[in-house]
């Protein structure tokens, strides 16, 4: 809608336009001079009439438009006035509602404060009654609440400990039964598949002589031959009263074997002097070195491994001349490799790494007299130096728990080593060390409280502990067996396993008169 001032400007413009158009139509036709002068007044009068008529029409139209606009504006203002009045009513109602709510909240707050005060009074009264009741109970019972609480805690602690011991015992029984069953099945399968000799092997450095006369020739004039032999071979030659025999003594088994072969060649040849001793020693050394290489290659072929560093093969062959508790170390590692491979196949892991680690687990024994340290760590360092797989190296260094086993291969090497060492007839030990080990077992088990007697049985593979039935109950006896076994694992070294049996027998005797 246009404003009124726009309409007022537009009306004269329309009138002027109409007048100009009228004169234009009149002037377009040619007239004579006299006609023009005659009709000028008439045209002007017509134009004035037309203009007045158009102006009156424009004024009427403008007046109608203005009236319409004014009516519309009045309606709009009235509508806005009604809306403002309604908004004011709503605001007034909201103010009234808020004031009512504020009043209600104030009343509730006052009520809550009053109730809190009442609750505080009730709590104080209850606490006073509780304190009076506790005092009365303490007076009747004869001891205070602190002592009662302590006694209750002791009872609860004892009950919790007994329940824990029961749970531990049950879990251990179930785990032991399941683990024993599965381990027995796996080991039985592996051992049944393994075919090896059970005769104890040992390296005996004794050379038989055809007659006692040969002893004098070995000694030589003023001991020349025996000094030359000991200097060249690096061993001690013992010529004693043993009939028709001479002993070779050395801490190095390979050197002792070379000396034994050298002496046998000299005895066979019959010519014994420093030059022949040196020649025989060189021949014997070459034979032993070839025997070492052949033994290492035989071990690889027997186990089924194709590639290995030549230096490792030589060190492996040197184990042929080493024994452990009377068991040949080379035969032991080959047997352990077979057992480890079969155990790995039974539980479904890679058998190559297990076989390789078991074959090399005692490789450090080939040079332990040359390098200080545990043979397991020395063997691991040798294997690492010659490029063996880290899993194989870890299996070697962890087979005696110098390092905690972190892989199944390391655990299998430990199991294979124990199976090979603990089978009947595999190892032997001196009577003195055997007795000392049994005494140590009995001393260790007898150091625990409540133990009356200890018996080491089955060549030290079983320890029976008799306890005082009045000091320990059944659950504590089970816990004692577990603690004794853990102490043996920490303090002792032994092949295989040791069974700990705790015996608790309660007897009551009376007489009828």
Residues constituting the chain: 513
- Asked if 464 and 501 touch (Cβ cutoff 8 Å), the reply is yes
Q: State how far Cα 141 lies from the chain centre.
A: 54
Identify the pLDDT of residue 180.
Answer: 64
- Asked if 330 and 197 touch (Cβ cutoff 8 Å), the reply is no
Q: How far apart are CA 393 and CA 174, in angstroms?
A: 34
Q: Which residue has the tokens 């577990």?
A: 482
Task: Identify any residues that bridge with 454 across adjacent strands, giving them in sequence order.
Answer: 465
Query: Domain ends where: 396, 422, 448?
Result: 422
Would you say residue 194 lies in a domain?
no
Query: Domain ends where: 379, 395, 422?
Result: 422
Q: Which residue has the tokens 């002037």?
A: 27
Q: How far apart are CA 352 and CA 98, in angstroms?
A: 86
Would you say residue 160 lies in a domain?
no
Q: How far apart are CA 33 and CA 41, in angstroms?
A: 14
Q: How far apart are CA 190 and CA 183, in angstroms?
A: 10
- How many domains are there within the chain? 3
User: Are 412 and 265 members of one domain?
Assistant: yes
Q: How far apart are CA 327 and CA 170, in angstroms?
A: 40
Query: Domain ends where: 117, 136, 155?
Result: 136
User: Are 362 and 452 members of one domain?
Assistant: no
User: Are 379 and 448 members of one domain?
Assistant: no
Torsions phi, psi of 374, nearest 5? Answer: -70, 140
User: Are 330 and 398 members of one domain?
Assistant: yes
Do β-strands 245-249 and 236-238 pair in parallel, antiparallel, or remain unpaired? antiparallel
The CATH code of the domain that includes 368 is: 1.10.3210
Would you say residue 196 lies in a domain?
no
Would you say residue 161 lies in a domain?
no
User: Are 416 and 439 members of one domain?
Assistant: no
Taking the CB of residue 173, how many other CB atoms lie within 10 A of it? Answer: 11
Would you say residue 162 lies in a domain?
no
What is the enclosing helix (H) or strand (E) of 51? helix 33-141
Q: How far apart are CA 363 and CA 308, in angstroms?
A: 13
User: Are 245 and 338 members of one domain?
Assistant: yes
User: Are 416 and 456 members of one domain?
Assistant: no
Q: How far apart are CA 104 and CA 82, in angstroms?
A: 33
Q: How far apart are CA 3 and CA 5, in angstroms?
A: 6
Would you say residue 494 lies in a domain?
yes
Q: How far apart are CA 423 and CA 418, in angstroms?
A: 8
How far is the CA of 73 from the CAs of 85, 168, 399, in angstroms?
A: 18, 96, 106
Would you say residue 115 lies in a domain?
yes
Q: How far apart are CA 116 and CA 35, in angstroms?
A: 117
Full domain range(s) for residue 290:
206-422
User: Are 384 and 255 members of one domain?
Assistant: yes
Identify the pLDDT of residue 427.
Answer: 57
Q: How far apart are CA 368 and CA 380, in angstroms?
A: 12
Instruction: Please state whether 207 falls in left (phi above 0), alpha (psi between -120 and 50) or beta.
Output: beta
Task: Identify any residues that bridge with 324 across adjacent strands, giving them in sequence order.
Answer: 327
Q: How far apart are CA 227 and CA 237, in angstroms?
A: 9
- Asked if 35 and 59 touch (Cβ cutoff 8 Å), the reply is no
Would you say residue 414 lies in a domain?
yes
User: Are 412 and 448 members of one domain?
Assistant: no
CB-based burial label for 375 (10 Å; 0-12, 13-18, 19+) = buried
Q: pLDDT tens for the chain, 513 residues: list them.
A: 444 444 444 445 544 555 555 545 554 444 555 555 556 778 788 888 888 888 898 899 988 998 998 888 988 999 999 999 999 999 999 999 999 999 899 999 999 999 998 998 888 889 888 888 877 777 776 666 677 777 778 888 888 887 887 787 778 777 777 776 676 666 555 555 554 444 433 444 788 888 878 888 888 888 888 888 888 888 888 887 778 788 888 777 778 888 888 888 888 888 888 888 888 889 988 988 888 888 888 888 888 887 888 888 888 888 888 877 667 888 888 888 888 888 888 888 888 888 898 898 888 888 755 566 778 888 888 989 988 889 899 989 888 888 888 888 888 888 888 887 766 555 555 455 667 788 888 889 889 988 988 888 766 778 889 998 888 888 888 889 989 988 888 888 766 678 899 998 877 777 776
In this structure, the dihedral spanned by the alpha carbons of residues 158, 160, 165 and 167, taken in order and rounded to 10 degrees, is 160
User: Are 302 and 254 members of one domain?
Assistant: yes
Instruction: Please state whether 244 falls in left (phi above 0), alpha (psi between -120 and 50) or beta.
Output: left
Q: How far apart are CA 457 and CA 499, in angstroms?
A: 10
User: Are 350 and 313 members of one domain?
Assistant: yes
* CA triple 406-411-417, angle to 5 deg: 140
The CATH code of the domain that includes 454 is: 3.30.300.20
Identify the pLDDT of residue 98.
Answer: 92
User: Are 493 and 369 members of one domain?
Assistant: no
Q: Could you tell me the strand order of the sheet in which 245-249 lies?
A: 206-208, 245-249, 236-238
SS3 243: coil
Q: How far apart are CA 260 and CA 208, in angstroms?
A: 10
């Amino acid at each position: 809608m246009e404003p009124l001032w726009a309409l007022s400007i537009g009306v004269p413009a329309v009138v002027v336009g109409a007048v100009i158009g009228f004169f234009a139509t009149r002037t377009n036709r040619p007239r004579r001079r006299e006609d023009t002068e005659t009709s000028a007044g008439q045209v002007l009068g017509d134009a004035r009439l037309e203009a007045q008529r158009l102006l009156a029409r424009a004024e009427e139209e403008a007046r109608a438009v203005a009236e319409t606009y004014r009516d519309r504006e009045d309606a709009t203002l009235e509508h806005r006035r009604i809306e403002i009045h309604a908004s004011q009513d709503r605001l007034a109602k909201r103010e009234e509602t808020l004031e009512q709510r504020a009043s209600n909240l104030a009343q509730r707050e006052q009520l809550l404060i009053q109730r809190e005060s009442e609750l505080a009074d009730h709590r104080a009264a209850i606490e006073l009654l509780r304190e009076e009741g506790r005092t009365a109970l303490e007076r009747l019972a004869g001891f205070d609440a602190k002592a009662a609480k302590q006694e209750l805690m002791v009872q609860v602690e004892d009950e919790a400990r007994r329940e824990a011991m029961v749970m531990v015992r049950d879990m251990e029984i179930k785990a032991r039964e399941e683990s024993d069953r599965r381990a027995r099945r796996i080991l039985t399968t592996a051992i049944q598949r393994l075919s090896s000799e059970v005769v104890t092997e040992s390296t005996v450095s004794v050379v038989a002589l055809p007659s006692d006369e040969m002893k004098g020739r070995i000694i030589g004039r003023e001991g020349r031959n025996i000094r030359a032999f000991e200097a060249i071979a690096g061993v001690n030659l013992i010529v004693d009263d043993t009939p028709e025999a001479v002993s070779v003594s050395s801490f190095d088994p390979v050197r002792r074997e070379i000396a034994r072969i050298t002496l046998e060649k000299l005895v066979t040849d019959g010519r014994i002097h420093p030059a022949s001793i040196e020649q025989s020693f060189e021949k014997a050394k070459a034979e032993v070195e070839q025997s070492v290489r052949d033994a290492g290659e035989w071990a690889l072929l027997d186990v089924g491994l194709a590639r290995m560093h030549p230096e490792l093969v030589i060190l492996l062959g040197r184990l042929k001349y080493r024994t452990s508790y009377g068991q040949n170390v080379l035969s032991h590692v080959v047997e352990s490799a077979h057992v480890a491979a079969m155990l790995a196949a039974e539980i479904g892991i890679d058998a190559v790494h297990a076989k390789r680690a078991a074959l090399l687990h005692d490789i450090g024994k080939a040079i332990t007299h040359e390098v200080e340290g545990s043979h397991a760590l020395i063997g691991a360092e040798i294997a690492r130096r010659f490029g063996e797989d880290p899993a194989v190296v870890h299996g070697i260094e962890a087979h005696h728990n110098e390092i905690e086993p972190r892989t199944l291969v390391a655990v299998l090497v430990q199991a294979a080593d124990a199976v090979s060492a603990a089978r009947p007839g595999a190892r032997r030990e001196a009577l003195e060390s055997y007795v000392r080990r049994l005494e140590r077992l009995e001393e260790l088990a007898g150091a625990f409280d409540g133990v009356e007697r200890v018996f080491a049985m089955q060549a030290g593979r079983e320890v029976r502990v008799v306890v005082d039935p009045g000091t320990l109950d059944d659950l504590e006896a089970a816990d004692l067996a577990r603690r004794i076994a853990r102490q043996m694992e920490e303090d002792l070294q032994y092949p295989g396993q040791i069974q700990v049996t705790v015996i608790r027998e309660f007897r009551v005797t009376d007489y009828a008169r």
